[in-house]
Every structure is written in structure tokens, then in C-alpha cells.
Structure 1
Amino acid sequence: MEREYMEFDVVVVGAGPAGLAAACRLKQRAADAGQDISVCVVEKGSEVGAHILSGAVFEPRALSELFPDWQALGAPLETPVLRDDIYLLKGPDAARKVPDALVPKTMHNQGNYIISLGNLCRWLAQQAENLGVEIYPGFAAQEPLIDDNGVVRGIITGDLGIDREGNPKDGIYTPGMELRGKYTLFAEGCRGHIGKQLIQRFQLNAQADPQHYAIGIKELWEVDPAKHEQGLVVHTAGWPLDKENPGGSFLYHLENNQVVVGLIVDLSYSNPYLSPFDEFQRYKHHPVIRQYLEGGTRLSYGARAITKGGLNSLPKMTFKGGLLIGCDAGTLNFAKIKGSHTAMKSGMLAAETIADALFAGDEGGAELSAYEQAFKKSWVYEELYGSRNFGPAIHKWGSVLGGAFNFIDQNLFGGKIPFTLRDTRPDYAQLKTAAQSQKIDYPKPDGKLSFDKLSSVFLSNTNHEEDQPIHLKLSDPNIPIAQNLPKYDEPAQRYCPAGVYEVVTADDGAKRFQINAQNCVHCKTCDIKDPAQNITWVAPEGTGGPNYPNM
């Protein structure tokens, strides 16, 4: 098919912190050199920030390097962290506060800010446009543009106006466009669907441990001013999760009497009956958390997978014509539960590498090995090296013993303990069978602190054009009922936090697997956790998905 095309020096896929930081740095370097670099950012959300979801306690180190005058420029960092409270939850009513002296130093947040990452990305987009970056929200990058020599030459955006059967709709069909670039930066966030393709095609993970993930489920609340303490950070470990089903939680006090509350469930969990959504709902009833939320109003809901394998799971990030940056590669520092600053720095390093190449007369399409060298000399690598054992220790020994190891590693050895723990079993392979597992009886939501999935999805402002191809692809449509149901009681019914997957029983007793794609909040958990690796998430039509405010 002949497609329309536009040509740029650099195409950036994804308007998250990594992609926007890269775009800004490219333009800054061009201005400093008195040259021009044309930069385009393509974003699948309806606007920049629409699909951005993170805790988020933000470390401003990379931002201060990118825009030293960020305060004067009005960056939305308004709530410095005043105090960290960390609890070990011993059960639905019991808790023990962890003394500061026993907390791994990576969990202390002095000098950091409680923010909405979506709002920070909106601000970064404004800075990028002021610098001359072209940003195109509402256009989903659907596939990489790769020439006959295996060189990435840009991306193709998704076709618009395709019906459920894949046929063009009369009068509104618009074919996708080629966005060609001398270099392409893939900054799609966790489990980017093009990044996944590139890792497989170019065997970028051949020397790495399997990547590991978690799902983060988050709500934004407005609470009673008497219960609000702006700048307070609360983290918990333990209940309602355990050693075989690990994770932790957060509750952060923003400005304007608002708090964000969330649960992070490690996708290495073993019980197929576990529902991260329902674990989150009952977690909010714990007295440590309930004391802040009771009498408040829930404003928004969302979910997103988190790339947390760290240094041991980092793929090779370079290939001919492009780079993987941010969480598309997996630069999150899980010991800090933070990835925005490392994502931004990885994008800035990529921008500097590309700018140097272009200034030297590079016509594009090379493999920029200088990026890996710059990355290894940076503070990002130093951080990730220091936290390389954090996740494997939790997986191996649980939150208590693993936490004790991490205290020794981080506080006594500064992350330089003289050995490296490995975690070589993929998350999807950790599930036990239904026969080996205990069913979990989740309490009904009370409509005050706990809620059902559909009312929650409503608060995410999720919307998709109904008459379009289902963007959740099954390699074999028979596997959910023929294999996953008898073996695992089809865990997609529970690991999806948006009610996308259902097993429906007909009047004659026959069962079928139903996909409610309109509900999808783009968390990518299904792509990661399906035990048969039978589900592939691809981008739907541009603007589809959640529209998160202040998340």
C-alpha cells in the first residue's frame, strides 16, 4: 500500500517522561550547536498525559539536568515529601511500623516530590513544543518501519476507520501514515508492543535475565481536610499479600486535600485465584489506610503494569536505526519504586548520542553503540547496579527476609554486596495449577472504600470505538477454554483489573471466552501474565483507552 509519509531527523514513540525528555534534549542540543534537528513525538493517547499513570513520588535529579530553572518555568512539583511512614501489615487489622533505622535507604524520600506524572508530562510537552518539537497525540504507532536490510526507518501509525472484521468503513477510512526518521526512539512505557516486537526480532534480550513485572492499581481520592497531611508518604508490605504472592502498597498525600492510594502486585504471584483488583479493594479497609480514606470521595481509578527486572533484565537497547529507552527497556529502579527520573535520563542520553551522530554528518540507520557506553558511565547505571539484588531477594525470600537482606545490601554495602542474585523464571511461568491452589473468597465491595470493576473503569474515562478490530489478539482462540480453564480456572478473569475477560456459560453448559475490549485500560497485564503466552496486546485506534486526569 502506498502511504503518505513525513520525514524527520528523529521520531519518538510515546509522550511519557523518557520520550519527552529525549525530544527536549535533542532540541536543546540543536540550539546550542546553532543547527536544526527535526523531532516528532507520536502519542496514542487522546492528549499527552491521558495514558500516564504512576504513584508518584518523583526524584527531580534528571529534571534539574534538563531544565535547571524548572521552578521558574512552573513545573508542577508542588508537594515536597515531608515524612515517610512504612508499615508491615500483619493481617487485616494488625500492623507494625518499621523504625526508620531499619528501612533500606532507597526507601527514604527526602528531597523528592509527590506529583501527578500525567501533569508533569503535560508540562514537559509544553516545553518540548516551545523548543520546536512536533507532537501528535491521538495517533498510535502500530508497527516499526524496517527496510530490507533490517534497519528501522521509523514507524507506521494505525489505520483509522476499520470495522470489527478488518474492513475499511465507507467514507471514514484513513490509512496509517509513515513517520520516517533517521533514528527512532521507542519510549512506549512498560511492555511497549513495538518494543516487544523489536526485542524478539533482534534478539535484544539474549544476554539478559527474563524481564519481570508488577501491576500497579491506583485511585485518586479527595479526603477530609482533618485527615490530610500534605507531603506524607505511606508505604506498606505484607497483608493482603504474602511470600508466594508478593507486593506492596502506597498512599501519598498531595495538595488540595487529595491522596493517591495504590497496590503493587508482583506478577510473579503463584495463586491463579488471586485478583489484584480485589486485593486492592480489601487492602483499603486496613485501619492504617482506612483512617485517611474514610468519609472521602474517590475521584479516579487506573492500572498499569510496571517493568521491574532492573539491571539484570535490561535488554540490549540499540539496533540499527533506533533505541529502546525508559520503561520500554526497563530502566526503573525498583529498590526506590521509581522510574521516571531514570527514564528521563535514559532519554536524555539517547538524545545526546543521536545529536552527536547527526552533527558529525550521520545520515541515519547506524547502530549507535555509543549509547550503551554513555549509559554505563551514567548515574542511571550506577543506581541500577546498586539495586540489582532488590527484586530477586523479595522473590526468593519474601518481604520480611528479603527486606532484611535488602537492608544489609543497601544500608551496609551501599548496593555493592559482592554477588548478584538471579531471577531466571518468567512471571507467567510462576502460576500453580488450580488444583494446587486455594480459592480466595473476596468480600463484596461496600461502595464506600471498596468498589466493583465496572464502576472503577467508569472513573478511568476509558473509551474505545466499538466497531474496530479487537486489540487483544489470541494466537490460538481455543486455549482459554480448552487449556487455561481446566488447568488454571482461566486466570484472565481475575488478573485483568478492568473486567475485559470473562468465561461465559451458555444455557446448554457450553463455555466461551469473551473479550470486552472496550473496558481495556491498557495496563498490558494480560500480555505479561497469561500462562500460555497466548494474548498479545496491540494498540487500538488512536485516542482509545483511558483518559486519566491528575494521575
Structure 2
Amino acid sequence: MQRESMEFDVVIVGAGPAGLSTAIRLMQQAKTAAKELTVCVVEKGSEVGAHILSGAVFEPRALNELLPDWQQLGAPVTTPVTHDDIYLFKDAAKATKLPGFLVPKTMHNSGNYVVSIANLCRWLAQQAEQLGVEIFPGFAASEVLIEEDVVTGILIGDMGLDKHGQPKDSFVPGMELRAKYTVFAEGCRGHLGKQLIQHFKLDAGKSPQHYALGFKEIWDVSAAKHHAGLVVHSAGWPLSADTTGGGYLYHAESQQIVVGLIVDLNYSNPHLNPFEEFQRYKQHPVISQYLSGGKRVSYGARAIAKGGLNSLPKMSFNGGLLVGCDAGTLNFAKIKGNHTAMKSGMLAAETLFNALTQDDNGGKDLTAFADAVKGSWLHEELYCSRNFGPAMHKFGTFWGGAFNTLEQNWFGGKLPFTLKDDTHDYAQLKPAAEAEVIQYAKPDNVLSFDRLSSVYLSNTNHEEEQPCHLKLTDSTIPVAVNLVKYNEPAQRYCPAGVYEIIQDDSNQPKFQINAQNCIHCKTCDIKDPAQNITWVTPEGAGGPNYPNM
């Protein structure tokens, strides 16, 4: 098929914090040097911010460097953290509030802000466009263009295919966007980033990437229950002793509270349902005291890359770079990845600009990027936090937390050894017959809800007549293997009810995929025990439409 093409100096895949910071820094340098540069950002969401979901308590360090006058420019970063409350939840009713000296200093948030990263990205996009960056929302990068083992750009996915992959009357072929260099900033478990890591063997010698599933809801609450800037974190209940993770509740602006639960995806019990654990979490008195009487207005979920330095792949390859959570730059000891993603993008931009100003025709492996990262505070942060996740995985919430408090507060993250976790998250599941069955209460529709009504609040929409973007390598495995051995955990780990076991016409179990419900969290691509599900991008503009997550 003959396709139209456009050429740029740099194409950036993903309009999140990393991608937009890359674009802004590139154009800032071009402006200073009076050099003409063409930079394009492709975003699969219907608008910038539509697919962005983050807690978020925001550390402004990278923003201070990127746009020092961000306050004067009107950045939506206006709610400073006023107070930190850290709890250990013992059970459904009891909790212990931890004094500051028992909390890792990475969890202290003085000087940080409660923000909507989706709205921050919308603002960053405005700054980028003012500098001359072209941003194309609603266009999904479906394939990497690789020629003679060099990345030469991306292919935008075809629009207007039916479920069998055949053109409809509305068919529009995808366009090639070619570039001297392509930056991949798709976020956690980016489907093109995953392919690049495999193709170029970027993770050779590294621990496997580790992940968590993060939930988030936004609630409107009364003025009496709202304390702008209050940050609450918790560990323990409802998660069992062998399931790590934690909860959060942030008092944002406009009498809104954001609440969520993070469940590490190395959990072993196939009966565990992360969505239902989140519903239980909201019932705890420490949390419900703020939510009672309020109204839930938004819901979403997203996987989080939390392997840190031990799992960080080589971030450069012939013709391109990986940045942000596409590589895994999140600092899980802080439960923050936006400032580190932004810094990785800025360092990428500086590396790219140096190459492009040397009459570079592109296509090189910019190994100088690794040196730039290693010489920055980004690497120092990740190095000092390298033991945080492995300690939790090896020792559990209590003893792992004690170890991390000791290492962070007394040794500054610089103990003379490195803990490793070299087991893939998907390989941790026990057979269903060996695991405790968990009984979850029905939703009360006051604090707890079902998945379908939750997905409704995410404004998720896909064109139904299109190829399914959730690909099974072997269609027999869900019933013949996963159902028999693990009671098919996809029924439970998916936060959007995409996967079901139903009965076919012969009264036999059948694996059904409700792809239109998908909120693009990528959990299935990560947790399926057979690694049989591959998430690929649907048509552009499909998926959730988050207003201010």
C-alpha cells in the first residue's frame, strides 16, 4: 500500500510529561541557537491529557528547570502540600498513625503540590505549541518503522477498518511520520517501547521490570471535609501480608479529593481482585471520614512501572530514545514518576540537539544519553531508591518498610549492597487450588461500586467495528490452561471488566473479550500468567477520556 509520509527532525510518541518536556527543551535550545527544528508529538488520546492518569503529588524540581517562570505562566500547580499523614492499616477498622521518624524520608512531601497531571500536560502542550511544536492528538502510533536495523519513524494506525481488518467506507490509511530521531514516551508498558526493548535487547543483564496497578477516583466533597493540601498515605489492609502496595488520599483544589489504591502486580493469589480491594479500601474509617456524603465523579486505573534502576533498560538505540515510564524512570520510593519522566525527556532533548547541530543525518545510537542520565540527579534518585521495591517484595510490607526507613533515613539510600528481584510478576501466581478464595461484598453504591459503572465514569469509548486490540497468541490458553490452573485471573485483574468467562451454546466455558471497555491500563499485557495477551493500540482517539486525572 502506498502511504503518504511527513518528515521531521524529531518525532515524539506520547504527549505525557516526558514527551512534552522533550519537545519543549528541544525548541528552547533551537530558539537560543537560532536553529530551525521540526518537532512533532503524536498522541493517541482524543486530546492531550485524555489518557493521563496519575495520583498525583508533584515534585516541581524538573518543572523549575524546564520553565522557571511556570507560576507566572499560569501552570495548574496551585495546591501546596500542607500536611502528611502516614498510616499502617491493621484491619478494616484499626489504624496506627506513624510518627515522622518511622517514615522513609522519600515519603515526606514538603515543597510538593497536589495536582492533576492531565491538566498539567494540557498546559505543557500549550507551552510546546507556542514554541513551534506540532501536536497531533487522536493519532495512534501503531508500528515502528525499522530499516536496516535503524528506527526511521512510526506508522500511524489505519482508521476505518472493520473487526476483520477489512476497509470500511470510512477507511483512511495511516501515514508514515519519518524522523532523524524518534523518541518513545508512551508511558508504562508502551506497546512500541516493549517491541523496541525486545528487538534491540535493551534489557539484557537487567532485572525484569516490575509493575503495580494504580486506581484513582475523584470525589466532590463538602467544604467541612475538605482540607486543601492534606496528603494521606497508608500501607497494610486491605492487602494481605504477601501482597504489597498501599493507598492514598489527596485533598486537591475545588473541594475535590482524589483517592486510590496501588496493588503490586507480583501478587500470588489468583483469586485476588485489585478493583474489589480498592472498593474495600474506601470503607476504612480513615478514608471514609472524608468521602462520606460526597459524590464520585471520575474513575480510572493505570499500570505503573516500579522496577527502578535495577530494571532500567538501555534507553538509546539506532535512531531513537526511550524516555519516562516507557523506560521505567519512576521513583517508587517516592511514589512519584512525573518529575523523573520530565527530567529524562529534558536530558533526551539536550542529547538530541547536540547530535542534530553536528550536521547529523540521524539514525545513530545516541549513547551519550546514558552518560547524561548517569551524570544527573535523575540517576542519583534512582540509585538511592534501588533497594526500595526489592525490599518490599522480599520482606513484605512491615519488615520491608522497616528496612526502607532505615536505609533512607540513616544511610541516605547508599548501603553498600543492592537487593534484586529477578522473578517476573506474571510468574508469581499460585495455582488456584493452593490459594485462599477471597469473598468480596456487593457494592453499596455509596462508597463501593461495580466495575461497569466505574468504567462509565472514565468516558471510555472505542469504535466497535474495528479489529480487537487485545491479541491472543493462542486462543485456547485462557480456557484450557488459565481457567483450569488459575481460575482465569483475567476476570479479576482487569479493572474494566474486559475479560469474562461465559458459557457458549454447548454450555462450555468460553473466553470473551469486551474490548470496548478497555481503559488502556496494560495490566493484561503484564499479569497474564501465560504471557498470551498482547495489548496493541486501537484506532486513535479510542479509550478513556479523563477530564482532570
* TM-score normalised according to structure 1 size: 0.99
Percent identity over the alignment is 71
Contact 1:309 1:391 in 2 (8 A): yes
* Residue aligning to 2:122: 122
* Residue aligning to 1:69: 69
Amino acid at match of 1:41: V
* Residue aligning to 2:19: 19
- Aligned mate of 1:198, from 190, 196, 199: 196
CA distance in 1, matches of 2:431, 2:517: 27
Task: Describe the SS at the equivalent of 2:161.
Answer: coil
Using the TM superposition, give the Cα deviation of residue 2 of structure 1 relative to its aligned residue in structure 2, in angstroms.
Answer: 1.4
Is residue 2:158 matched to residue 1:159?
yes
* Residue aligning to 1:221: 219
After TM superposition, the structure 1 = structure 2 runs for residues 101-116 of structure 1, keeping only pairs within 5 Å, are 101-116=101-116
**What CA deviation, in whole Å up to 9, does each residue of 1:411-447 have, x standing for no partner?**
0000001100000000000000101101110000000
Is residue 2:330 matched to residue 1:338?
no
Contact 1:326 1:346 in 2 (8 A): yes
After TM superposition, the structure 1 = structure 2 runs for residues 127-276 of structure 1, keeping only pairs within 5 Å, are 127-147=127-147, 149-170=148-169, 172-276=170-274
Using the TM superposition, give the Cα deviation of residue 242 of structure 1 relative to its aligned residue in structure 2, in angstroms.
Answer: 2.4
CA distance in 2, matches of 1:389, 1:286: 30
Using the TM superposition, give the Cα deviation of residue 249 of structure 1 relative to its aligned residue in structure 2, in angstroms.
Answer: 0.6
* Residue aligning to 1:326: 324
- Aligned mate of 1:522, from 520, 523, 538: 520
Amino acid at match of 1:5: S
**What CA deviation, in whole Å up to 9, does each residue of 1:384-409 have, x standing for no partner?**
00000000000011111000000111
CA distance in 2, matches of 1:306, 1:330: 9
* Residue aligning to 2:96: 96
CA distance in 2, matches of 1:535, 1:243: 29
5+ unaligned residues in a row in structure 1: which ranges? Answer: none
CA distance in 2, matches of 1:242, 1:65: 41
Is residue 2:469 matched to residue 1:471?
yes
CA distance in 2, matches of 1:243, 1:372: 38
Task: Describe the SS at the equivalent of 2:416.
Answer: coil
Contact 1:25 1:348 in 2 (8 A): yes
Using the TM superposition, give the Cα deviation of residue 508 of structure 1 relative to its aligned residue in structure 2, in angstroms.
Answer: 3.8
Contact 1:243 1:397 in 2 (8 A): no
* Residue aligning to 1:410: 408
After TM superposition, the structure 1 = structure 2 runs for residues 490-529 of structure 1, keeping only pairs within 5 Å, are 490-506=488-504, 508-529=506-527
CA distance in 2, matches of 1:430, 1:515: 24
Amino acid at match of 1:140: A
Amino acid at match of 2:30: A
* Residue aligning to 2:531: 533
CA distance in 1, matches of 2:267, 2:106: 24
Using the TM superposition, give the Cα deviation of residue 245 of structure 1 relative to its aligned residue in structure 2, in angstroms.
Answer: 1.4
- Aligned mate of 1:449, from 447, 450, 459: 447
Amino acid at match of 1:301: Y
**What CA deviation, in whole Å up to 9, does each residue of 1:89-124 have, x standing for no partner?**
000011000111111000000000000000000000
Using the TM superposition, give the Cα deviation of residue 246 of structure 1 relative to its aligned residue in structure 2, in angstroms.
Answer: 1.2
* Residue aligning to 2:50: 50
After TM superposition, the structure 1 = structure 2 runs for residues 239-388 of structure 1, keeping only pairs within 5 Å, are 239-388=237-386
CA distance in 1, matches of 2:436, 2:505: 28
Amino acid at match of 2:24: C
5+ unaligned residues in a row in structure 2: which ranges? Answer: none
Using the TM superposition, give the Cα deviation of residue 523 of structure 1 relative to its aligned residue in structure 2, in angstroms.
Answer: 0.1
After TM superposition, the structure 1 = structure 2 runs for residues 426-445 of structure 1, keeping only pairs within 5 Å, are 426-445=424-443
- Aligned mate of 1:486, from 480, 484, 489: 484
**What CA deviation, in whole Å up to 9, does each residue of 1:280-338 have, x standing for no partner?**
00110000000000000000000000000000000011100000000000000000000
CA distance in 1, matches of 2:449, 2:88: 24
Task: Describe the SS at the equivalent of 1:145.
Answer: strand
Contact 1:268 1:427 in 2 (8 A): yes
CA distance in 2, matches of 1:193, 1:109: 33
* Residue aligning to 2:394: 396
**What CA deviation, in whole Å up to 9, does each residue of 1:135-156 have, x standing for no partner?**
0000000010111x10000100
CA distance in 1, matches of 2:411, 2:2: 59
Report the RMSD for the aligned CA atoms in angstroms. 0.6
Task: Describe the SS at the equivalent of 1:353.
Answer: helix
Amino acid at match of 1:481: V
Amino acid at match of 2:224: A
Amino acid at match of 2:7: E
Task: Describe the SS at the equivalent of 2:241.
Answer: coil
Q: Which ranges of 4 or more aligned residues in structure 1 deviate by more than 4 Å?
A: none
Task: Describe the SS at the equivalent of 1:136.
Answer: strand
Contact 1:460 1:548 in 2 (8 A): yes
CA distance in 1, matches of 2:24, 2:547: 23
**What CA deviation, in whole Å up to 9, does each residue of 1:486-527 have, x standing for no partner?**
100000000000000000023643010000000000000000
**What CA deviation, in whole Å up to 9, does each residue of 1:237-275 have, x standing for no partner?**
000012311110100000111000000000000000001
Amino acid at match of 2:162: D
Task: Describe the SS at the equivalent of 2:246.
Answer: strand
* Residue aligning to 1:30: 30
Q: Which shows bigger deviation, 235-244 or 13-22?
A: 235-244
Amino acid at match of 2:226: H
Question: 1:376 and 1:230, CA in 2 relative to 1: closer, same or farther beyond 3 A?
Answer: same
**What CA deviation, in whole Å up to 9, does each residue of 1:182-228 have, x standing for no partner?**
00000000000000000001100012100000000110000121111
Contact 1:43 1:139 in 2 (8 A): yes
CA distance in 1, matches of 2:154, 2:530: 29
Using the TM superposition, give the Cα deviation of residue 36 of structure 1 relative to its aligned residue in structure 2, in angstroms.
Answer: 1.2
CA distance in 2, matches of 1:296, 1:162: 43
Task: Describe the SS at the equivalent of 2:149.
Answer: coil
* TM-score normalised according to structure 2 size: 1.00
Contact 1:218 1:303 in 2 (8 A): yes
Amino acid at match of 1:99: P
CA distance in 2, matches of 1:476, 1:533: 10
CA distance in 1, matches of 2:211, 2:222: 34
Task: Describe the SS at the equivalent of 2:512.
Answer: strand
Task: Describe the SS at the equivalent of 1:404.
Answer: helix
Task: Describe the SS at the equivalent of 2:492.
Answer: helix
Amino acid at match of 2:161: I
CA distance in 2, matches of 1:197, 1:508: 39
Contact 1:243 1:395 in 2 (8 A): no
CA distance in 2, matches of 1:309, 1:177: 35
Contact 1:12 1:19 in 2 (8 A): yes
Amino acid at match of 1:159: D
Task: Describe the SS at the equivalent of 1:161.
Answer: strand
CA distance in 2, matches of 1:324, 1:138: 21
CA distance in 1, matches of 2:251, 2:171: 46
Contact 1:247 1:265 in 2 (8 A): yes
CA distance in 1, matches of 2:450, 2:522: 20
Amino acid at match of 2:419: L
* Residue aligning to 1:39: 39
